[in-house]
Structure 1
Amino acid sequence: MRGNWQFLKAQARPTLQQLFADDAKARVAALTIEQAGIRFDLSKTHLDDTLIDGFVQQAGAMDLAGQRQKLLGGEVINPTEGRAAEHTAERGTGSPEAVELARQFHARMRALVEVIEAGAFGKIETLIHIGIGGSALGPKLLMDALGRNTGGIEVRVVSNVDGAAMAEAIKGIDPRTTLLAAASKTFTTAETLLNLESAMQWMRAGGVDDPHGRVIALTANPDKAVEWGVDETRILPFSESVGGRYSLWSSIGFPAALGLGWAGYEEMLEGAGAMDRHFAHADWRANAPVMAAFADLYYTQARSAQTRAVFAYDERLRLLPSYLQQLEMESNGKSVTAEGEAVDYPTSPITWGGVGTDGQHAVFQLLHQGTVLVPVEFIAAREPGHDLDDAHHEALLANCFAQGAALMAGKQTDDPARSYAGDRPSTTLLIDDVTPAILGALIAFYEHRTFVNAVLLGINPFDQFGVELGKDMARAIEEGGMDDFDASTKALMEAALGDPAQ
């Protein structure tokens, strides 16, 4: 590992109880950051002045400030592909050229949204958004979190190539009042195009004479979409330098712009932009993404934590853990440095989680009394997402805050089976409400946190070659090229599909 990490190997660290015993109020104040409608409480982590000083020195050694400038200035930050990573330009921070191009693409998307709302496609009740990975996870999260009870166009997202997913998406809707959005950066993604063909067959069977005229392409490769059969007036481009897992800010966010209305989508961009500015200008010790990354690195590097759990105590954010799985593990699940040298230290932990209070009755047993250390992140909202009795929200928040307190405090009894070790870390993100602006800021926070982790580890978070090998081998099987596969794989294929030679 590059840089000097000796500060992590010092004598035993104080427990959380000891850290709070010194001056609890001062600790909470020092390790709480409020920004863009979010309160970040890092006080229940083991960060102290010694650790923070060490991480600040490591940030200097790894030129975090310079790498941040490259990212936010639109310089090449993805060395293996020789590209910038310009998702922040979609929110107004980047090179002037990239910001202007994003503005033009957003204006084109807004115009199409307004054309649809004006009835150019007739009565539209449903949009089926077809994509996979970042082309689906972002829109799905946005619509699930923000699209409830809007009364507008219903958005259904299909990603899985399993036909059952498409069958579920088309159930109970009229193809004559439906539009299709095909989201693929290259417009060559096999799963997406197969699902798109199936959706068009459903449309033909339902009396739509020209299904191609119902397809809107969201892509960084417009020529390929035209070649496929989409008219250029229904193509919403985005920049090649916007990565898939960072693309919801681009035309990939079209379903949210249509389903929530342009004003809501613009608020989301503005919220993310506010977090961009915070990340760009705040001192490291007052910088939410940076401080969160410091805590992440302490647990992976010094305490051998192989996983990180995220629990949203808000039903509207139930898909956030799934979204973060791709963002964090596809970005930082690497075994070589940015220079291509093998690493000999942990990189990304496994991100997992769920919703509270469900998780308390499923996996929290391990968190409290298991033999592995799992840093936990709690996310809750001050305002409820419903009009039911306040007792629901009060119970939800009480459970959320109590879990963090219990993980830290533990409880010792004469009965070992009923004892809790305590000293188990957690962070809490308390948001004002689940609004477009705050959700935008929250997602941008996680993007920058992932970036800081990568910089301090010396890895490249913007490539993802690890997803390609399995896809290549699947393509070989589909084309009948099984000769090079192992005996187990051949036997499985024959058991499932029969002998391809017959």
Structure 2
Amino acid sequence: MSTLTSLPAWSALAEHAEEIKATHLRTLFADDPQRAERYLAEAAGLQLDFSKNRINDLTLTLLAQLAEESGLTKKVQAMFSGEAINHTENRSVLHTALRSSSSTPLMVEGKDIRQEIAATLVKMEAFVDAVHRGEWRGYTDKPFTDIVSIGIGGSFLGPKIMAESLKPYWHKGLRCHYVANVDGTAISEKLKQVDPETTLFIMSSKSFTTQETLTNTLTARDWFLAKGAPDKAIGQHFVAVTSNVPAAVQFGIDEENIFPMWDWVGGRYSMWSAIGLPIALQIGFGQFRQLLEGAEKMDQHFQSAPLERNLPMLMGLLAVWYTNFFDSASHVILSYDHYLRGLPAYIQQLDMESNGKGTNDQGDGVDYHTGPVIWGGEGTNGQHAYHQLLHQGSGIIPADFILPLNSHNPLGRHHAMLAANCFGQTQALMSGKTLEEARRELEQKGMAADAIDALAPHKVMPGNKPSNTLLMNKLTPATLGALVALYEHRTFVQGAIWQINSFDQWGVELGKVLGNSILDDLESDTPKLDQDASTARLITIFRKREI
């Protein structure tokens, strides 16, 4: 038995779960007329309705006890204070410092990182303003019309999805394109859309050696030069976000066009840093500041609010509740806003890369589930597809519904219909449809008794399926910043309870190492073929392909 599962609160929750599984959400609402009002919390422009969860006051009390016994509050303080909580890499975890307005020194390895952060923001702002005003131009003296952002993982997904989410705030006359996949088709299709004379390339790689990113950047440079640009123009058209300044300079990028990265910022948490440069170029630096400010408000709430009103703690503990006591293997994110259609993929990387671990902080294998599969998409589209599984599948899949109360594009009844779909789905998941209700519905349609007997069981939906509903007045840079920070902290809460390191990613690293070894065999005249039999055979097939 592990340290976690031996905690008194864990045992109490296991016993309590067996009791509450026998209680339907319909009953919980019927027994507590104030439930919807009591189980509502808000912060930083977001409202969380968590009343449609399979919980009662005792559940929350026991989850709070689990948080206390797990040392959650101390772990939160350790993160914000700069302790090296990423213990496998001996690094601090300070993405929150990137959006902090505090002037209190925050020392990491003898340096006040607040000064470095402030200087980087000033540099970013000057660069963004110069591009927007047309002062930073291409080598033929034409203003830039296109940005090609090259990265992978958090260096790609964060900027792309945040920029897409904030399309109403885009700077006119400037388009951003994002490339991550090493598949040559990805960058080829992007380069077909741009003009070398008016295109700015941003290469984002902490090491400046990330295979996919470096390969795509070299391809972009070759294309740029092949289109007639002189070598000296690389400095005008290529900038980098990296900690490896010498490599970037050797590539041809002017040192003044290199923006810093730090070890205490993980890739999936890096959009708040200079990795967010494409976001700032797309929406303007003033709006980028609002994105930071919204996240900071959620940081402050996370540190100060009592657990029963603390959005990240509530959502994180509820995720633990379903993963470990209801055997829920996945969690669905449903965005009821077209601009937020990419958010589930962002949260998928954030959560699964952080908490997909099977070893605890002491180096022991865990004897409990961690890291459920995160998936989802646009809620309305999902209603005609995978929502079937949510309603009538045999398992429990907790759901988060996300809806802005006001649309950037108010057309007739569209937004009311969107909201009706969102609220109706949460209600259907909660209440379901009994056999008696299904029979009555069919009787009202005049169906024969034998036909009703045959069909009614198939129309039964058990309900009692949990969900959260997250509301905001409108999707803005500030509310988006708060929303992303909310999910960051929710992820951390889960990892803290599970006693795992949410900030390393050794599983990702293994694939990179093996991929490099295989690449050598694919391209060598004398391959070693010293892999397992299956991999060696696949390499042989690839090498013999017809070209």
1:127 Cα deviation after fit: 0.5
Give the equivalent residue in structure 1 for 2:479: 438
Please give the secondary structure, in 2, of the residue aligned with 1:19.
Answer: helix
Give the equivalent residue in structure 1 for 2:443: none
Any conservation in 1 of the 2:85–2:92 contact (CA below 8 Å)? yes
1:7 Cα deviation after fit: 1.8
> Could you tell me which amino acid in structure 1 is paired with residue 123 of structure 2?
R
Pairs within 5 Å for 1:27-176: 27-92=35-100, 96=106, 97-118=112-133, 119-121=135-137, 122=141, 123-148=143-168, 150-176=171-197
1:15 Cα deviation after fit: 2.2
- Structure 2 length-normalised TM: 0.88
Q: 1:16 aligns with which of 15, 25, 46?
A: 25
Q: How many residues of Structure 1 are paired with residues of Structure 2 in the alignment?
A: 498
Any conservation in 2 of the 1:482–1:490 contact (CA below 8 Å)? no
Which string of whole-angstrom CA distances, capped at 9 and with x for unpartnered residues, describes residues 343-375 of structure 1?
Answer: 010011000001021101110111100112110
Runs of 4+ with >6 A deviation: none
| Aligned-partner Cα distance in 1 for 2:417–2:545 | 57
Please give the secondary structure, in 1, of the residue aligned with 2:32.
Answer: helix
| Aligned-partner Cα distance in 2 for 1:31–1:127 | 45
Q: Which runs of 5+ in 1 are unaligned?
A: none
Give the equivalent residue in structure 1 for 2:498: 457
Pairs within 5 Å for 1:65-464: 65-92=73-100, 96=106, 97-118=112-133, 119-121=135-137, 122=141, 123-148=143-168, 150-210=171-231, 212-213=234-235, 214-389=237-412, 391-413=413-435, 414=439, 415-464=456-505
1:18 Cα deviation after fit: 1.7
| Aligned-partner Cα distance in 1 for 2:42–2:173 | 33
| Aligned-partner Cα distance in 2 for 1:191–1:64 | 37
**Structure 1 residues 483, 496: CA separation in 2 closer, same or farther (over 3 Å shift)?**
closer
Which string of whole-angstrom CA distances, capped at 9 and with x for unpartnered residues, describes residues 404-425 of structure 1?
Answer: 0000100013411111011001
Please give the secondary structure, in 1, of the residue aligned with 2:19.
Answer: coil
- Structure 1 length-normalised TM: 0.96
| Aligned-partner Cα distance in 2 for 1:227–1:30 | 60
> Could you tell me which amino acid in structure 2 is paired with residue 147 of structure 1?
K
Please give the secondary structure, in 2, of the residue aligned with 1:12.
Answer: helix
1:376 Cα deviation after fit: 0.9
Rg larger in 1 or in 2? 2
Q: Which runs of 5+ in 2 are unaligned?
A: 107-111, 440-455, 522-526
Root-mean-square deviation (CA, aligned residues, Å) is 1.6
Please give the secondary structure, in 2, of the residue aligned with 1:381.
Answer: strand
Which string of whole-angstrom CA distances, capped at 9 and with x for unpartnered residues, describes residues 245-288 of structure 1?
Answer: 00000000000111111101000000000000000100111100
Please give the secondary structure, in 1, of the residue aligned with 2:469.
Answer: strand
2:541 paired with 1:495: yes
> Could you tell me which amino acid in structure 2 is paired with residue 99 of structure 1?
R
> Could you tell me which amino acid in structure 2 is paired with residue 151 of structure 1?
K
More deviation, 262-271/88-97: 88-97
| Aligned-partner Cα distance in 2 for 1:229–1:240 | 24
More deviation, 49-58/137-146: 49-58
> Could you tell me which amino acid in structure 2 is paired with residue 65 of structure 1?
T
**Structure 1 residues 67, 152: CA separation in 2 closer, same or farther (over 3 Å shift)?**
farther
More deviation, 163-172/436-445: 163-172
> Could you tell me which amino acid in structure 2 is paired with residue 355 of structure 1?
E
2:517 paired with 1:476: yes
Which string of whole-angstrom CA distances, capped at 9 and with x for unpartnered residues, describes residues 448-474 of structure 1?
Answer: 110011111111100001101111111
1:482 Cα deviation after fit: 4.9
Any conservation in 2 of the 1:46–1:295 contact (CA below 8 Å)? no
| Aligned-partner Cα distance in 2 for 1:152–1:443 | 27
Please give the secondary structure, in 2, of the residue aligned with 1:431.
Answer: strand
What percentage of aligned pairs have identical amino acids? 41
Please give the secondary structure, in 2, of the residue aligned with 1:432.
Answer: strand
| Aligned-partner Cα distance in 2 for 1:127–1:405 | 43
1:101 Cα deviation after fit: 1.9
Give the equivalent residue in structure 1 for 2:109: none
| Aligned-partner Cα distance in 1 for 2:14–2:76 | 27
